[in-house]
Structures are given as structure tokens and as C-alpha cells.
Amino acid sequence: MEKEYYFGIDGGGTHSRIAICDKHMNIVYQGIGESTNIYSVSIIDVKKNLKELIEQAMKESHVTTFFGGCIGSAGLARTKEKNYFKIIFITPSKYPSSPL
């Protein structure tokens, strides 16, 4: 049986942080990447930076799949910002040049 891993991302305007933990809340990885804040970079860059942040974390931690995760970023309580992140994660074909 594969271990259960979870990720958390703090999406900042200058840079973003990611942490990966197991189901017992043991942190197995912490890393830093570029901005994932839609007020600091374009939605295309948010998507690219999220992908790079997650892929780097998976590569360095040797985690191949996640059981769950969360992202915190300024404005995500508002409808407009929620819709941007839905576009990023749910409808990637809307931005075909985006890697996520």
C-alpha cells in the first residue's frame, strides 16, 4: 500500500512555500518557489509556478502522489479569485499554453 502524503502551499506575492507531510503530520519536505499570487503575476505564471513548485517538491521528496492538499493565497475567499484557481486546476484546457 502506498503511503498517504498531503501538501500545503502558502502562495505569496514574492515567493511561495510548499510543505509535504505524511498522514501522521510528519513533515517530509519543505521548499520555496516563485510567486503564485494572482495579484503579483499573471494567471499563466501562477499556473506555471504552481506546477514547478509541486514538481520540484515531488522530485526532491520522492513522493509520487498526494492524498490531498491545500493552497492559501490572498483573496481566495472571493468569488473572482476562486474562479481563477478553478480555471487553473479544473479546466486546464482553457489555457492550452499552461503546463498544469
Give the span between the Cα atoms of 18 and 33, in whole angstroms. 8
Task: Name which of 12, 66, 75, 8 is nearest 84 in CA terms.
Answer: 75
Please state whether the predicted TM-score (pTM) of the whole model is above 0.85.
no
Question: What does the pLDDT look like over 71-89, one tens digit per residue?
Answer: 888 777 888 888 888 777 7
- Per run of 10 residues, the mean pLDDT along the chain (length 100 residues) is 86 94 96 92 89 93 91 83 78 47
Q: How high is the pLDDT of residue 80?
A: 83
Exposure b/e, 58-95, CB count within 10 A at least 16 = b: beebebeeeeeeebebeeeeeeebeebbebbeeeeeee
The count of other CB atoms within 10 Å of the CB of residue 11 is 25
Candidates 3.30.420.40, 3.40.50.980, 3.40.50.300, 3.90.1570.10; CATH matching 5-94:
3.30.420.40
How do the domains of the chain map onto residue ranges?
Answer: 5-94
